[in-house]
């Protein structure tokens, strides 16, 4: 196995790991949203001691989502499965060229539906046309991934999530106030809102699954998965 092939296989393992985490996060998000948006549900705990428990549960789910999304999207440590590390590989021109060669390969393409008597020249023509389509699809997806990931990283949303994870969620960092007092960082220090959890999940979805497409030539039925999560959450809170 060549060095490039080894890097490609490593990236495939990373994107599959990222997707597994993303799916778990989305399932938590769908449960979390009911604690934010379902007024009938929230009314059950109004003016009771349990209301404090609701706040705790909301905060825990919120921090979990931000922490996990920051890890799979923005983490720059070389030994972690993150979109950042996959993007670094895709920005390598030689790596991208080799990945494209694998993506456009038509050797295993079946032409049997066209008949057993089809000529070799016709088969080659069909494969050549298919390779052109694959090439265009690869370039379009690669451009989307590289440009939109950069936009996401430069967004205020990503900066808030990254700062919150580093100073409040994963590390309990102190700050000095204007009164020379020391206190822990809080969500308000970063302008965080509950909708940030859903926004970072939604903004990164297409990037993640286009990366999966680039490396596997396969599409993931994420819409069906999300719909299932919504059904599970709705049924859960209805009980």
Residue partners of 164: CB distance under 8 A and separation at least 6: 66, 185, 187, 190, 192
In three-state secondary structure terms, 116 is: coil
Mean pLDDT of 17-25: 97
Asked whether the predicted pLDDT for residue 227 surpasses 70, the reply is: yes
Asked whether the predicted pLDDT for residue 46 surpasses 50, the reply is: yes
| Number of neighbouring beta carbons within 10 Å of residue 65 | 23
Q: Which two tokens stand for residue 129?
A: 């046309």
| Number of neighbouring beta carbons within 10 Å of residue 181 | 8
Per-range mean pLDDT, top range of 7-21, 104-118, 155-169: 7-21
| Number of neighbouring beta carbons within 10 Å of residue 218 | 7
| Number of neighbouring beta carbons within 10 Å of residue 90 | 19
167-221: pLDDT as tens digits: 554 444 334 444 444 433 344 554 567 788 899 999 999 999 999 999 999 988 9
Q: What is the pTM of this model?
A: 0.84
Instruction: Give me the phi and psi of 91, to 5 degrees please.
Output: -75, -15
| Number of neighbouring beta carbons within 10 Å of residue 69 | 25
- Residue 175 is predicted with a pLDDT of 42
- Between 53 and 181, the more confident residue is 53
Note the maximum CA span of the chain: 86
Q: Strand runs (DSSP E) across the chain, as ranges?
A: 174-176, 182-184
| Chain CA centroid to CA 220, Å | 12
Look at the block and give the residue holding tokens 């100073």. Answer: 167
Rg for the chain, CA atoms, rounded: 23
Instruction: Give me the phi and psi of 176, to 5 degrees please.
Output: -100, 125
Asked whether the predicted pLDDT for residue 150 surpasses 90, the reply is: yes
Look at the block and give the residue holding tokens 């990283």. Answer: 153
């Amino acid at each position: 196995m060549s060095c490039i092939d080894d890097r490609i296989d490593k990236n495939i393992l990373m994107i599959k790991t990222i997707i597994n985490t993303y799916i778990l996060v989305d399932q938590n998000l769908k449960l979390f949203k009911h604690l934010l948006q379902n007024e009938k549900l929230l009314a059950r705990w109004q003016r009771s001691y349990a209301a404090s428990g609701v706040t705790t549960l909301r905060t825990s789910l919120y921090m979990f989502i931000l922490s996990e999304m920051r890890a799979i999207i923005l983490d720059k440590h070389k030994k972690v499965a993150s979109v950042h590390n996959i993007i670094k590989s895709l920005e390598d021109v030689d790596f991208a060229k080799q990945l494209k060669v694998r993506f456009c390969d038509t050797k295993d393409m079946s032409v049997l539906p066209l008949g057993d008597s089809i000529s070799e020249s016709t088969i080659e023509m069909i494969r050549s046309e298919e390779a052109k389509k694959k090439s265009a699809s690869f370039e379009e997806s690669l451009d989307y991934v590289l440009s939109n990931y950069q936009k996401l990283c430069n967004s205020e949303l990503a900066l808030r999530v990254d700062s919150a994870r580093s100073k409040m969620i994963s590390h309990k960092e102190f700050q000095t106030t204007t009164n020379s007092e020391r206190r822990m960082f809080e969500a308000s220090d970063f302008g965080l809102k509950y909708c940030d959890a859903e926004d970072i999940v939604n903004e990164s979805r297409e990037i993640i699954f286009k990366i999966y497409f680039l490396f596997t030539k396969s599409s993931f039925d994420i819409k069906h998965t999300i719909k299932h999560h919504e059904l599970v959450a709705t049924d859960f809170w209805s009980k």
